[in-house]
Every structure is written in structure tokens, then in C-alpha cells.
Copies of this chain bind each other. A is one copy, B any other.
Amino acid sequence: MSSSLLPFFQPKGVVVIGASTSPEKLGYGVARNLIQSGYRGAIHFVSQKSGELFDRPLYTNLTDVPDPVDLAILIVPTQVTPQTIEDCGKRGIKAAIIVSAGFREVGADGASLEQQCANIARKHGVRLLGPNCIGKLDTHLPLDTTFLQPPMPAQGGIGFISHSGAFAAAIVDWARGQGFGFSQIVSLGNQADVNETDVLPEVANDPHTKVIVLYMESVSDGAKFVQAASEVTKHKPVIALKVGRFEAGQKAAASHTGALAGSEAAFDAAFIKAGILRADTAEQMLDWARALENCPLPRGRGMAILTNAGGPGVIAADSLETNGLLLSQLAESTLKNLSANLPPSASVHNPVDMLASASPETYAACLKILLEDENVDGVMVILPPPPMFKTEEVAKKLIDVIGKFDKPVVIALMGSTLVEEARQVFQLTNVPTYPFPERAASALGALARQAEILNRRPQTAGHIVHRPLSTVEEYGIQTIPIKLARDENEAVMLATELGFPVVMKIASPDILHKSDIGGVILNVKSAEEARSAYALLIQRAQKAVPHARIEGVHVQRQIPDGQEVIIGAVRDPLFGPLMMFGSGGIEVEGLKDVAFALAPLNQAGAREMIRNTWAGRKLKGFRSINPVDEESVIDVLVKLSYLAFEHPEVEEIEINPLRVLEKGAVAVDVRVKLRA
């Protein structure tokens, strides 16, 4: 625990500054919650008017508040906030939660006031949470500094960090209705000081927190966030809901990589690098969290479905595959054991359909058989109200089995009033339930991905070097030597030296699209051809662009055919260098057959990018397309990622195309844009 944040998490005494005796005021709500939460430290109130509140004195002056007190909650008028922070500093209170709004979120005046708060806090060594936040909540300590309507959320293992107070408040109430709880809730507000990166490791350190959910609208320091989160996710799963997807404007870009790399691609890449699961919706985030809180992780992606009805089983099978999971092939012994427990017209193949007559005992016996199968990494049990039995009886039998295995089991508990008692039975024993098979499958998918995150080989980070970049060859990336011939004789000499066949291109700063004016001649095979090609190129250039400055003709060795791909890097303002891999050629922007990842990359990371694109998959060959050297592409990706990582002055760099040959790969053209 960073010692300066300790008072937010384990305060010895709390003072509410702006406590109120009027029940409709926030200053009343905060005081009430603090008392009702059962917080065991000292509780003090400061108000403009003296008196009493909840049997405690209302001090009119912070200096009168007795020890211990190390955390202040400020619900004071916006204008008074800077002075109040100063008072806290002088009183020796080094942590303050600013609930008040009216700062940065309302415009320039507010922003300047917020800056003033931050400056004063820094001067006095006071850490700030907020402003414009609902504070902090710990169900286990317990501590509740919010003004949310009671009761406090139920105890649970989900730690929730939120940029939005309103969202946190709504989720708390929703979770109450769904019957699950939280360990911690931290509302960050405007983040004048403490931000998501500061708080994440602290929440992860809480032994009651099993999984962390993160509602993010932005990130304060991308690189620090990725680093901090990478450490956390080694031990605890983190799920992020990142919103504001469609707000990012497009920047002018000098390369395809730049044009395609929006801020969302960088966030995606950052979450992957940090081992964070990115949820698409709030509901999904919480569905995943409940599974990660309560289930062991699967060893693989093979899942079994146990159902008492065909229809929901088919839905479940569909949605397992939608979530990247597989239907386990059941072992022969499993099929035999299932048959022994089921009527002849049941289906013992996965999805296992026990038929509507399945009793609680049958459910339990079949689940046990499935969990004993080596090929089964996890099970979805589908439980609509059985026509002949009480759903809660099935639930009771199932939980006995679930507890005996170290494999995840999630329940698609379909229905509402008829399954309510069963839902409570499962909830008491921490077995996650979902109203539909699709949501249960999505949760199993999150478990499988989390298992894979933990199995990833760590990437060794590069280090920033402070020498200017000369060429990509410095990083071992092969290019084609390109030589300038200033007359016909020199062209012949260079071509002979490089070895035929060669490619010859007009060299002029005024002619950008050379092939458009016939300024490129391929497959020049002899000295004689080189001589006439030189003459022809000069002639074409002069004709097409009369006043062009012509430096001569570039001569390159012609390399064999192969496959062409693009590899690039662009410096994301939040996360640093973002690598791109994708289809070569002009169509890259149209097809969007590209993958992104943060630099630096290791072999595994590069391989994953390649596999995520068609351009990458076809490197191994497809129909009449011959296979080429995939490993050399991985090599270039890793090397270019180090180049981008180690040279902060590189704004964009793109190899377009990288020609991939049967053996090796050659950067045909490299463009670099350095920071201005």
C-alpha cells in the first residue's frame, strides 16, 4: 500500500466537513452512511453551525476536531474548497475526498479552481480523491463515505473503480436487485490528484477483492496504467468497460498505420498488453465479474452443456462457439456412464440432453460424470423450471457436486418467479447464475480468456535509448540497397554491381507517384536494357512533369515475388508506440485487415497479431498462394517494435510493403516521420 493513500483505504478517523442536519442535504447523507456503515474508527463532523448530529458534536472549526483523524470528506461550496484543503493540511489530515461538484466539468473557471485545489494539496502533502465524486465504500472494513441511499451494498468480492459516480450508484442498486455484492467501490470523479492507476493496485491489494471492474472514460497516463495493470492482472482479474469510443476525432496521419490507428485500437492493444478483459457492455462486465469472482479457471476451452431440454441446449451450443469456446468431445467412458443414468431417448453426446423428466439426482449424477471427464474444462448447466420437480431441489443437488471439482460451472437459470428460490440457493454458495444461456456462455468465455492471460509468457520490456535512429537495418531489418545513378553509365555500373534483374525508378523530389507517369521499370535484365531504361525514364519524367528537378535514376536489385504485408508503428498519445500488421498494398485502409498491439512485442505477441489477420494467415499458403517465411515476419515485427519503443522521436514508421519471400523478408520501402 502506498502510504499516502492508506487513509483512503484504512482511515483511523474520518471527519465530514459540511455535515448537515437537514436530511435532504448531501452533508447529512454522508454523515448517515458513515455511521450506518459500522465504520469502527473515529467519526467527526464539522459544520457552519454548532450543535449535534447522530449523537455527535458538530464542530464549527476543523482545528477543534480531536485525534484520531486522517481522512476528510468535503461537502462544502465549490469556492470554499481550496481553503478547506489548506485547513486540512494544517490540521495534519493528509487525505481528502471532495464530493462537491462545479469544477473542471463546468468549464474554465471551474478548471482553474480545481487546479488551485491540486496546488494547495500538493503544497501541504494532501492526497485528493475527486472532486465531483461519490467517494469510497468498503463493505468488509466497513466504511461508507458516499451519500448513496442505504442500505450499503452487500459484501462481495468485486472491487469497482469508476470514473462516473452516477454509473457506480446505478450499478450498486442494480447489483442489489440481482443479489450480488461488492468488496470496494471507488468513485474517482475529476481526478485532480488520485487517478485510476493509483487506485488499481490498492484495490487489488484488498484481500476481499477477488476481481476488479473498471469503468473508464479515459486514462491519465497510458504507459503507467499498462505497467500497473500488468502487475495486478498477474494475481487478480481486471475487467474494463471503456466508454467514449466514438468521441475520438481523427488525426491527420502520414501513413496507413496512422490513418487506421484510432484511440480505440490503442485502448484495445493496451488492455491486451495489460491482461485486462475488455467488456462491451455494463451488463457483460458484471456477468463476467461474477464468474471470475466465484469460479475456478478452466484449463482449456472445451466445455460441456448439461440440459433438460433441446432448445436451450442448441442456444447454448451456438453461444459457446460465439464466445470462442468448444463443445468438448466426451470420452467413451463418459458416454457409457451417462447412458447408464439416462433414459434411452436422452442424448448423451454434448450438449447432453437428459430430457424434461430429469430429476435433481439425475442432474447431479450427470454433472459429476461430465466434470470427471478429462476433456471437459467447464460446464454450463441449463436449468429451466423442470416440469416435475422444484428448481431449488435441483440447485441443492448440483451445488454438492460443483464444490467437489476444481472446474468452473455456471448455471443458465432460465425463468424468473419459478426459479427465484433456486437462484438464492446458488447465490448462497457462490455459484453464478444467468437468465439466458448466451450470458452464461459469455461468462465461461471470460473465464477461459482469463486463464489464457495467466498462461502468457511475460514480455520483456525494452529500454529507451538516447541516440538518433539511422536506419531500420540497425535493428536487423533487411532492406534493398537503393543506389542513385546520375547518368546512363553509372546506371549500367550500379545495375551490374547489384546483379540483374534490377528495378529502375526515376529520382525526383517533385515526382511522388512514380508509377503513374511510367517512372518505374521492372525486370531490367542486362547492361543494354539498363542503359535504355535510364534514357526512357528521364524522357518520361521530363515530359510528364516539365519543371521537375531530376536527380537521376534509382537502381535496386529486383527481389523475387512473394507476399506483401505492411508493418508499421505510430506513437499513440496515451500509450506510446502502437504496432500495426496488415494486408499490403493500397487496399489496406479499405479492407481494414489489420491488427494492433503495443510495443515492444515478443515473439508470441507478434505471432498473435499475424494470426488475427487474413494477410497473416495466408503467409502459410492458401489454395494456389505459395507459403512464405512467416517467422521472418514475426522477426521484423518484433524488431520494428523495439525500434519504435526505443526511439521516442519516431512519430510514425511504416514498412510498406514488406516483401515476404520463401526464405526471409525484405523491407521494400520504409517511411519515417520524426517528431517535429
A residues within 8 Å of B by Cβ? 24, 26, 101-102, 105-107, 110, 147, 149, 162-167, 169-171, 173-178, 215, 217, 241, 243-247, 280-283, 308-312, 314-315, 317-319, 321-322, 344-345, 355-356, 384-385, 387-388, 414-420, 435-439, 513, 515-516, 586-587, 589-593, 614, 617-618, 622-625
In the assembled complex, which residues on chain B have CB atoms less than 8 Å from the CB atom of A26? 387
A351 to chain B, nearest CB (A): 11
Check B312–A164 contact: CB distance below 8 A: yes
A55 to chain B, nearest CB (A): 25
Q: Which of B24, B241, B593 contacts A591 (CB 8 A)?
A: B593
Q: Which of B163, B244, B321, B387 contacts A318 (CB 8 A)?
A: B244
- Name the residue on B nearest A592 (C-beta): B614
- Residue among A309, A416, A439, A624 having the largest count of chain B Cβ atoms under 10 Å: A416
Check B435–A174 contact: CB distance below 8 A: yes
Q: Which of B166, B309, B416, B624 contacts A309 (CB 8 A)?
A: B166
A411 to chain B, nearest CB (A): 13
In the assembled complex, which residues on chain B have CB atoms less than 8 Å from the CB atom of A416? 173-178
A456 to chain B, nearest CB (A): 27
Docked complex Cα distance between A587 and B245 (Å): 31
Docked complex Cα distance between A177 and B418 (Å): 9
In the assembled complex, which residues on chain B have CB atoms less than 8 Å from the CB atom of A439? 281, 283
A345-B105 in contact given A169-B385, A318-B246 (Cβ < 8 Å): yes
A516 to chain B, nearest CB (A): 6
- Residue among A345, A516, A623 having the largest count of chain B Cβ atoms under 10 Å: A345
- Residue among A102, A311, A317, A344 having the largest count of chain B Cβ atoms under 10 Å: A311
- Name the residue on B nearest A283 (C-beta): B436
A516-B173 in contact given A167-B312, A345-B106, A614-B587 (Cβ < 8 Å): no
Docked complex Cα distance between A244 and B215 (Å): 35
- Residue among A149, A387, A622 having the largest count of chain B Cβ atoms under 10 Å: A387
In the assembled complex, which residues on chain B have CB atoms less than 8 Å from the CB atom of A618? 587, 590
Docked complex Cα distance between A215 and B312 (Å): 11
- Name the residue on B nearest A29 (C-beta): B387
25 contacts between A and B (CB under 8 A): A105-B310, A107-B345, A149-B385, A163-B311, A164-B314, A166-B309, A166-B312, A167-B414, A169-B415, A170-B312, A170-B415, A171-B414, A173-B415, A173-B417, A177-B416, A243-B315, A246-B321, A281-B436, A281-B439, A282-B438, A283-B438, A283-B439, A590-B617, A590-B618, A591-B591
A382 to chain B, nearest CB (A): 9
Docked complex Cα distance between A52 and B563 (Å): 82
In the assembled complex, which residues on chain B have CB atoms less than 8 Å from the CB atom of A345? 102, 105-107, 110
Q: Which of B215, B318, B438, B586 contacts A624 (CB 8 A)?
A: B586
- Name the residue on B nearest A316 (C-beta): B243
Check B586–A623 contact: CB distance below 8 A: yes
In the assembled complex, which residues on chain B have CB atoms less than 8 Å from the CB atom of A171? 414
Docked complex Cα distance between A266 and B415 (Å): 32
Docked complex Cα distance between A625 and B171 (Å): 50
A415-B282 in contact given A166-B312, A243-B318, A618-B590 (Cβ < 8 Å): no
- Name the residue on B nearest A438 (C-beta): B281
Check B173–A419 contact: CB distance below 8 A: yes
Q: Which 5 A-B pairs have the closest CB atoms?
A: A177-B416, A164-B311, A166-B309, A106-B345, A173-B415
Check A174–B414 contact: CB distance below 8 A: yes
- Name the residue on B nearest A516 (C-beta): B624
In the assembled complex, which residues on chain B have CB atoms less than 8 Å from the CB atom of A586? 622-625
In the assembled complex, which residues on chain B have CB atoms less than 8 Å from the CB atom of A418? 149, 173
In the assembled complex, which residues on chain B have CB atoms less than 8 Å from the CB atom of A322? 245
Docked complex Cα distance between A149 and B215 (Å): 41
In the assembled complex, which residues on chain B have CB atoms less than 8 Å from the CB atom of A170? 312, 384-385, 414-415
- Name the residue on B nearest A345 (C-beta): B106
In the assembled complex, which residues on chain B have CB atoms less than 8 Å from the CB atom of A245? 318, 321-322
Check B174–A415 contact: CB distance below 8 A: yes
In the assembled complex, which residues on chain B have CB atoms less than 8 Å from the CB atom of A243? 311, 314-315, 318
Check B314–A147 contact: CB distance below 8 A: no
- Residue among A162, A170, A356, A625 having the largest count of chain B Cβ atoms under 10 Å: A170
* 10 additional A-B residue pairs with CB within 8 Å, beyond A101-B356, A173-B415: A163-B311, A164-B312, A170-B415, A173-B416, A174-B414, A244-B314, A246-B317, A281-B438, A587-B625, A590-B614
In the assembled complex, which residues on chain B have CB atoms less than 8 Å from the CB atom of A241? 315
Check B614–A217 contact: CB distance below 8 A: no
A599 to chain B, nearest CB (A): 27
Docked complex Cα distance between A185 and B149 (Å): 41
Q: Which of B173, B310, B356, B516 contacts A385 (CB 8 A)?
A: B173
- Name the residue on B nearest A623 (C-beta): B586
In the assembled complex, which residues on chain B have CB atoms less than 8 Å from the CB atom of A310? 105, 164, 166
Docked complex Cα distance between A178 and B435 (Å): 11
Docked complex Cα distance between A238 and B299 (Å): 42
Docked complex Cα distance between A459 and B211 (Å): 54
Check A590–B164 contact: CB distance below 8 A: no
In the assembled complex, which residues on chain B have CB atoms less than 8 Å from the CB atom of A385? 149, 169-170, 173
Docked complex Cα distance between A59 and B165 (Å): 67
Docked complex Cα distance between A246 and B318 (Å): 6
A660 to chain B, nearest CB (A): 15
In the assembled complex, which residues on chain B have CB atoms less than 8 Å from the CB atom of A165? 309, 311
Docked complex Cα distance between A625 and B590 (Å): 11
- Name the residue on B nearest A625 (C-beta): B586
A164-B623 in contact given A319-B281, A618-B590 (Cβ < 8 Å): no
In the assembled complex, which residues on chain B have CB atoms less than 8 Å from the CB atom of A625? 586-587
- Name the residue on B nearest A583 (C-beta): B591
In the assembled complex, which residues on chain B have CB atoms less than 8 Å from the CB atom of A176? 416-417
A387-B162 in contact given A435-B283, A438-B283, A591-B614 (Cβ < 8 Å): no
In the assembled complex, which residues on chain B have CB atoms less than 8 Å from the CB atom of A592? 614
In the assembled complex, which residues on chain B have CB atoms less than 8 Å from the CB atom of A162? 311
A163 to chain B, nearest CB (A): 7
A309-B167 in contact given A345-B105, A593-B591 (Cβ < 8 Å): yes
Docked complex Cα distance between A418 and B150 (Å): 10
Docked complex Cα distance between A107 and B163 (Å): 57
In the assembled complex, which residues on chain B have CB atoms less than 8 Å from the CB atom of A173? 384-385, 414-419
